[in-house]
Structure 1
Amino acid sequence: MIENYTKIYFIGIGGIGMSSIALYFLDKGKTVGGYDKTKTDLTINLENHGALIHYDLKISKIPLEFSNKQDTLIIYTPAISKDNIELDFFINNSYKLLKRSEALGLISKNKFCIAIAGTHGKTTTSTILSHLLYENNISFTSFIGGISENYNSNYIEKGQDIILVEADEFDRSFLKLKPNIACITSIDPDHLDIYNSIKDLQDSFNEFACNLEKNGLLFKNFDLGIDGISYGFNSNAEYSIANYKTINDSSFFDILYKNGKCKNIRFEMPGKHNASNALAAFAICKNLKINDADLKKSLGTFKGVKRRFSYVLKSPKILIDDYAHHPKEIQAIQDSVFSLYPEKIIMAIFQPHLFSRTRDFMDEFAKTLSMFHEIVLLDIYPAREEPIKGVNSKELLNRMNNNNKKLLKKVELVNHIINSNADVIVIMGAGDIANEVEKIKNAILI
């Protein structure tokens, strides 16, 4: 059905998940266009590939190419407001509309589908797996929620035999998929603005696990109480990591599995959480009959994911940029950076993402952030949300048990960093904090 449309229009085309689907349809020779509120590197890349994009939310700005509802498909992100005027227009004019997840479900239908889910780790795992498949000449197309450093894209195509998708739990989107292989990296409380309770979230992941095609395989973190092929640092896991160590910012470890061992793997992304993600990708590839030597070589050439423990500078100060926006993710970053740099002064710069998430995890954020030597908080990035009374960065700051803490505006960051004694600066957040990274880098280099 989806192939019958010659024109595809996206509401929210600049999102990390939406833009990969837009690239897919451009690759198929479709006429592609859409709206987004801000021009970014992602939308510029789409425009360079021929997409017709506008940034002014007016019906009159919708290109005429999409005026015929018979051959135009509308794909929208659930992150947009329900009263979006373009969404209303297309509904009222009887266009065919699909959520992003529904589009992915149709793209992967009748294909061998691999779906990577989890509240944390799914983007890195999907990107590692994409690289392993690419390097080993497997026919696949992947839609990932981050930019691969190896391919500078969130859409990687080397054939159509396998469709690899990052399965997002937001809005229960991943329940639209029927994978042949699924992986669950983690299940921690999140999106409690969508889910009624932690149990509701867990039930949704259980339903995802039950959506496997007949004879499908489920890979799961050893710590999760779900039946499946287990992986992790625990020696009882079916795929486990042993002899983990870090040398010069790289990880080295062995992978053990039934009747086999892959020794002395070198992996550029530091942190045990990233080694675990690499292990998940390795386990899936073993079940696709890729041999150890080839997987070891491919893991050694993986360059990482943008904004996932990304080194921006290593001198004169160390500057690390990360998408972390949940207490568990911040804890993983904190563990990694303190392990790598035990003698250095470490500053965290954090922009909270969403009022609801800040409310739900206020104490957890405060506890985790307090472990850094110095903390800089920015105002909450609201994204799709309206303010919630009593939920703000000042309240979060007050709950932190640390005397070296500040609440700053973005324009104050550079001056503060220049005058700080911190040796390592870790920038974290899922909002527009990423736009400040280059300014901070340049200021440090002056």
Structure 2
Amino acid sequence: MEYANIYFLGIGGIGMSALARYSLHEGRRVAGYDRTPSALTEALEAEGAAIHYEEDVRLIPEAFLDPATTMVVYTPAVPRDHAEYRYFLEHGFRIEKRSQMLGHLSAGKYVMAVAGTHGKTTTSTLVAWLNRALTGGGSAFLGGVSKNFDSNLVLGGGARLAVEADEFDRSFLRLYPDVAVVTSADADHLDIYGTHEAVKEAFSQFIGQIRPGGSLIIKQGLDLRIDNPGITVWRYALDTPCDFYAARVRLLEGGHYRYDIVTPDGVIADCTLGVPGWVNIENSVAAVASVWCAARHEGVALDAERLREGLASFAGVKRRFEFYVNTPKQVYMDDYAHHPRELAATLLSLRRMFPRRRITALFQPHLYTRTRDLCDGFAEALSHADEVVLLPIYPAREEPIEGVTSEIIAERVTVPCRIVPREALADTVAAMPTDVVVSFGAGNIDACCGAIAEKLKQKA
């Protein structure tokens, strides 16, 4: 890419920050804007990025005001009337979405893309970790902070590039993968897509962009149009026999599992994943299928012992099934889940891990449109808990919608449910009779995790 300077609008986002760090690594100057500082922006500033937090054209560094030397990358969450976006548009700068930039950076790589309305972050992060365990190299752009790499960006040798393919704003249609995993295609982002059928059509388009000779790894039972004959289609499942699945699943202490992974080449016996949870077994099967396809492409066989070591040493992703307290008397974990299917999957996993124990779910709805469109599903999923505490809706990029509040979920939940302000959450939980507690949400509920954990540790 010919530009010496890259300016990021929304530089603090998980995907944008990875692109910014990669650009710094490649020797380019980086600057950008975000609404609020965070651990990600602080790390970028420490590495040399110039970042400001006020929407003000005058704060753009002078070196980034020349359209001949500066390219602008923006996230769809930035509104089109943003002052800095308008400035760059009116002055002839090359402006690209984050997904377009990622498409450029993936050129010449063996792209291993993981898509899905849920499960994609953990699965893509595990693909990246298994690439490292099996080959010693591999790069990745991830949608969450990997605990193994302590980053959402992985820089390594070799051609393998693991990418989280995001369906939001149809961003994943900028990618042309060699191997693609599709974990799910549920009704989500309906403020963009309008209907569930439109969501499924976008996933079918993504599948259609797999490179000739490549592979699709798709969840068993997922009904999507597949009409590119030049690819190989593999099905995977949790424990339903198909191309890739788990067998002889045994629960271990602390919610971990031991299981065999069945592949077209045979059985990889006695695998133990480093993170707990029934739902993560399925994610691991998809990840193993992905690296199996990569090895097949390279003409080598999977090293079963290294694979087992990679699975066992996987530390997970921050805010994905992340345990803060795990004792016989008190359990607390946090999860990024913000769709009904994700909530239900996690709560049912907890039921399997901690049978006959009382589960309290804390949930912050994300977006007014998602709450409006999926309130019945949220209520049904949350009713798998024994008690529910809701926070007010986190608006993110949206303006309020009349009549859409957390109340429309609360009134449909079939177990005891209350609504509290975020600042009162930790004290509310401390005063409740708790056993297993799980917090959910894609907003800022995670800012409460430390305080909740401390109070529950005291109770334990």
Q: Which residue matches 1:304? A: 316
Q: Distance in 2 between matches of 1:445 and 1:61?
A: 44
User: Match for 1:17: what amino acid?
Assistant: G
Give the 3-state SS of the residue equivalent to 2:100 in structure 1: helix
Q: Identify the match of residue 119 of structure 1 among 117, 123, 131.
A: 117
Q: Distance in 2 between matches of 1:53 and 1:41?
A: 13
Give the 3-state SS of the residue equivalent to 1:42 in structure 2: helix
User: Match for 1:18: what amino acid?
Assistant: M
Give the 3-state SS of the residue equivalent to 2:30 in structure 1: strand
- Contact preservation (8 Å) 2:131, 2:160: no
Q: Distance in 1 between matches of 2:218 and 2:143?
A: 19
Residues 41-440 of structure 1: matches in 2 within 5 Å?
41-159=39-157, 161-226=159-224, 228-248=233-253, 249-289=255-295, 290-315=302-327, 317-402=330-415, 404-440=416-452
CA deviation map 1:263-313 (0-9, x unaligned): 110112223321111111111112222322211111010011110110011
User: Match for 1:352: what amino acid?
Assistant: P
TM-score, length-scaled by structure 2: 0.94
- Contact preservation (8 Å) 1:246, 1:270: no
Q: Among the aligned pairs, what percent are the same residue? A: 39
Q: Which residue matches 2:229? A: none
CA deviation map 1:164-208 (0-9, x unaligned): 211111111111111111111111110111112111111111110
Q: Which residue matches 1:441? A: 453
Give the 3-state SS of the residue equivalent to 2:124 in structure 1: helix
Give the 3-state SS of the residue equivalent to 1:26 in structure 2: helix
More moved, 233-242 vs 200-209:
233-242
CA deviation map 1:236-276 (0-9, x unaligned): 31011111122112121111122410111011222332111
Give the 3-state SS of the residue equivalent to 1:101 in structure 2: helix
- Contact preservation (8 Å) 1:252, 1:264: yes
Shift of 1:65: 2.3
- Contact preservation (8 Å) 2:30, 2:50: yes
Listed as ranges, the gaps of 5+ residues in structure 2 are: 227-232, 296-301
Residue correspondences, number: 443
Instruction: Output the aligned Cα RMSD.
Output: 1.3
- Contact preservation (8 Å) 1:347, 1:375: yes
- Contact preservation (8 Å) 2:139, 2:160: yes
Q: Distance in 1 between matches of 2:435 and 2:187?
A: 33
TM-score, length-scaled by structure 1: 0.97
Shift of 1:138: 4.7
Q: Distance in 2 between matches of 1:306 and 1:171?
A: 24
Give the 3-state SS of the residue equivalent to 1:265 in structure 2: strand
Q: Which residue matches 1:15? A: 13
Q: Distance in 1 between matches of 2:58 and 2:390?
A: 40
Question: Aligned pair in 2 of structure 1 residues 259, 395: CA closer, same or farther (>3 Å)?
Answer: closer
CA deviation map 1:105-131 (0-9, x unaligned): 111123221211111111001100000
Structure 1 segments of 4+ aligned residues over 4 angstroms from their partners:
none
Q: Distance in 2 between matches of 1:275 and 1:133?
A: 18
More moved, 267-276 vs 414-423:
267-276
